[in-house]
């Protein structure tokens, strides 16, 4: 693979394009919305990454070996883009969606290139977080998955190939389960958002950077966890509704960093992202110097 096309120059697409450009791939970045195109052009102008930014989809994908879709999480928008690709892309190009939640089956239905369509779910910020969740169709040729995995590894990523397709894959299902319980605790007045965030950051979150849930269970003892799960599972929230605090904030256009307020107030649209980037760099650097072997389940 030499040429990678990224569709959508937003939060994820721009970072993913930069990632591959930094590894010297030919990168085209497609962005149809003029205002965003101008903003991204200004950001890229001084970076010398050689990214070909364009509002012409054919120009972006015609020569691409890998096409990574990073358009908004709206099924109609994604499907429209996928259907347009059929007549534009190379016969052997791989298409991968960075969707957060749609199953591969949902996105790939009746696409003529289903056997070359996958999920490649990057984590935000994509240039720092190593994880990329990969999902193929039951009839995806294994060598195509291997090609994608190999490319991602060469770019310093940690690809994890799922055995089966499921909405939200692994990471977002786990994040959503945690968020549901965090919102339940917040809405029950057990603690405020800062208190709950602190508990996660100073406790399990810190440990999760080193040990995953099953490693933690082994460390704690399955006998203890059997008692814990038996006692707590009936207590946990099992709501299937979007949490009330999220709905209230949406109604007030409190969208988080992007609107200046969410669970917290933000005076700058970049400070929170920069702070996370700095702490992630420190954590990743400490982990690399510690030589942790990262699980690489492919």
Ligand X SMILES: NC(=O)C1=CN([C@@H]2O[C@H](COP(=O)(O)OP(=O)(O)OC[C@H]3O[C@@H](n4cnc5c(N)ncnc54)[C@H](O)[C@@H]3O)[C@@H](O)[C@H]2O)C=CC1
Ligand Y SMILES: O=C(O)[C@@H](O)C(=O)[C@H](O)[C@@H](O)CO
| Residues contributing to the site for ligand Y (CB under 6 A) | 100, 123-124, 171-172, 175
260 binds, among ligand X, ligand Y, none (CB under 5 to 8 A by kind): none
Residue 220 Cβ, how far from ligand X at the closest point, in Å?
30
Residue among 38, 47, 56, 73 that touches ligand X (CB under 6 A): 73
Contact 9/31 with Cβ under 8 angstroms?
Answer: yes
Please tell me the distance from the alpha carbon of residue 161 to that of residue 135, in angstroms, as a whole number. 6
Asked if 133 is part of the footprint of ligand X (rule: CB under 6 A), the reply reads no
Going by C-beta distance under 8 Å and a sequence separation of 6 or more, which residues neighbour residue 74?
none
Residue 208 Cβ, how far from ligand X at the closest point, in Å?
18
Going by C-beta distance under 8 Å and a sequence separation of 6 or more, which residues neighbour residue 209?
283, 287
Residue among 19, 68, 71, 152 that touches ligand X (CB under 6 A): 71
Asked if 177 is part of the footprint of ligand X (rule: CB under 6 A), the reply reads no
Contact 58/88 with Cβ under 8 angstroms?
Answer: yes
The CA-CA-CA angle for residues 219, 224, 226, to 5°, reads 115
Provide the annotated active-site residues: 100, 121, 133, 172
Please tell me the distance from the alpha carbon of residue 89 to that of residue 103, in angstroms, as a whole number. 23
Asked if 8 is part of the footprint of ligand X (rule: CB under 6 A), the reply reads yes
Give the nearer residue to ligand Y in terms of CB position, either 39 or 257: 257
Q: Which residue is nearest to ligand X (CB)?
A: 10
Residue 11 Cβ, how far from ligand Y at the closest point, in Å?
8
For residue 228, CA distances in Å to 82, 179, 214, 235, 237 come to 45, 20, 14, 11, 15
Q: Which of residues 77-96 bind ligand X (CB under 6 A)?
A: 77, 81
Give the nearer residue to ligand X in terms of CB position, either 10 or 144: 10
Going by C-beta distance under 8 Å and a sequence separation of 6 or more, which residues neighbour residue 20?
4, 6, 27, 155
Contact 73/99 with Cβ under 8 angstroms?
Answer: yes
Please tell me the distance from the alpha carbon of residue 14 to that of residue 18, in angstroms, as a whole number. 6
Give the nearer residue to ligand Y in terms of CB position, either 179 or 228: 179
Residue 221 Cβ, how far from ligand Y at the closest point, in Å?
30
Residue 74 Cβ, how far from ligand X at the closest point, in Å?
8
Binding interface with ligand X (CB under 6 A): 7-13, 30-33, 36, 70-73, 77, 81, 98-100, 122, 124
């Amino acid at each position: 693979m030499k040429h990678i096309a990224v569709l959508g120059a937003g939060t994820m697409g721009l970072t993913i394009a930069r990632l591959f450009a930094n590894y010297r791939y030919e990168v085209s970045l497609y962005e149809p919305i003029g205002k965003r195109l101008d903003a991204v052009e200004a950001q890229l102008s001084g970076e010398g990454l050689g990214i070909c930014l364009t509002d012409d989809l054919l120009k972006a994908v015609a020569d691409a070996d890998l096409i990574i879709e990073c358009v908004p999480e709206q099924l109609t928008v994604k499907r429209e883009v996928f259907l347009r690709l059929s007549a534009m892309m190379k016969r052997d190009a791989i298409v991968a969606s960075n969707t957060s939640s749609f199953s591969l089956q949902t996105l790939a239905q009746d696409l003529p290139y289903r056997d070359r369509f996958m999920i490649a779910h990057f984590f935000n910020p994509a240039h720092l977080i190593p994880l990329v969740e990969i999902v193929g169709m039951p009839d995806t040729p294994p060598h195509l998955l291997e090609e994608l995995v190999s490319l991602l590894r060469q770019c310093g990523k940690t690809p994890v190939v799922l055995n089966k397709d499921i909405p939200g894959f692994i990471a977002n299902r786990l994040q959503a389960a945690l968020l549901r319980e965090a919102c339940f605790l917040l809405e029950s007045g057990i603690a405020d958002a800062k208190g709950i965030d602190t508990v996660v950051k100073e406790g399990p979150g810190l440990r999760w950077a080193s040990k995953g849930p099953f490693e933690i269970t082994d460390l704690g003892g399955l006998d203890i966890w059997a008692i814990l799960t038996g006692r707590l599972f009936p207590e946990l929230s099992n709501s299937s509704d979007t949490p009330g605090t999220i709905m209230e904030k949406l109604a007030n256009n409190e969208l988080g960093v992007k609107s200046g307020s969410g669970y917290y107030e933000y005076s700058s649209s970049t400070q929170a992202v920069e702070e996370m980037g700095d702490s992630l760099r420190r954590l990743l650097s400490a982990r690399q110097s510690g030589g942790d072997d990262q699980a690489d389940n492919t």
